[in-house]
Amino acid sequence: MTRLAAHTALVTGAGAGIGRAIALRLAAEGAKVAVNDLSPDRAAETVALIEKAGGEALPTPGDVSSPEAVEAMYSTAESAWGRVTLAVNNAGIVHQAKLEDLAVEDFDRMIAVHLRGCFLGCRRAINPMLAAGQGVIVNIASQLGQIGGIELAHYSAAKAGIIGLTKSLAREVSSRGVRVNAVAPGPIATELVMALSDDWRAAKTAELPLGRFGAPEDVAATVAFLASEDAKIYVGQTLGPNSGDVML
């Protein structure tokens, strides 16, 4: 498929899980993909998978909570291919704790990676897009940012912030040619989610109308749609591949 052949994409947190699935899907649809991950080895692994399938990619490792690292990853992509036309802010971490036991350091790190990282990615991507009068930003939130999550208050707060950031930015820039939307997955069978307690996963599965977690590829398909012209009138939306956990 070549639906996204006009795009040069940068996907954060693309060394595994949802991010890797997104990078692979975008590349399969024709986009060039800059692959970010905190781990250089994981970023390189995703690049190798894309290249093996005949796509074009390059690694841009770095910490998304660092302005200097975000600048470096965008500069690398721009040096190779020119302007980044599609920014997917996906990088995230998971940590489980009741709020009464939650350390300030764990709260701060959750906000730094998810919300600050999303903000920095949006801020770095937006000016070249506005100068060109076109571009797409997709921010990865979570259904827990809409309904909250037991023992995941800090995660839920960070994801709710991403949804608010997405809506605000969409209102600022849509009239100038840049589309901004969010994806709020439900529980997805990734390494991060499977690291949560057995009790948590069992309880969440029981709550889902579909009765099962989704796959990273389900989220990737949603991102590819939002990146495409098929989604040309989607602005400030939060799409929910969530097994029915949230129904709007």
* Residues acting as catalytic residues: 155
Sign of CA dihedral 106, 72, 78, 30: negative
Closest CA to 227 of 38, 43, 23: 23
Closest CA to 236 of 226, 222, 225, 247: 226
d(CA 50, CA 68): 26
7 vs 28, 33, 44, 191, CA distance in Å? Answer: 12, 9, 21, 29
Is there a contact between 120 and 65 (Cβ–Cβ < 8 Å)?
Answer: yes
3-state secondary structure (DSSP) of residue 183: strand
CB atoms within 10 A of CB 230: 11
Is there a contact between 70 and 46 (Cβ–Cβ < 8 Å)?
Answer: no
Is there a contact between 178 and 136 (Cβ–Cβ < 8 Å)?
Answer: yes
Residues paired with 59 in a beta bridge: 35
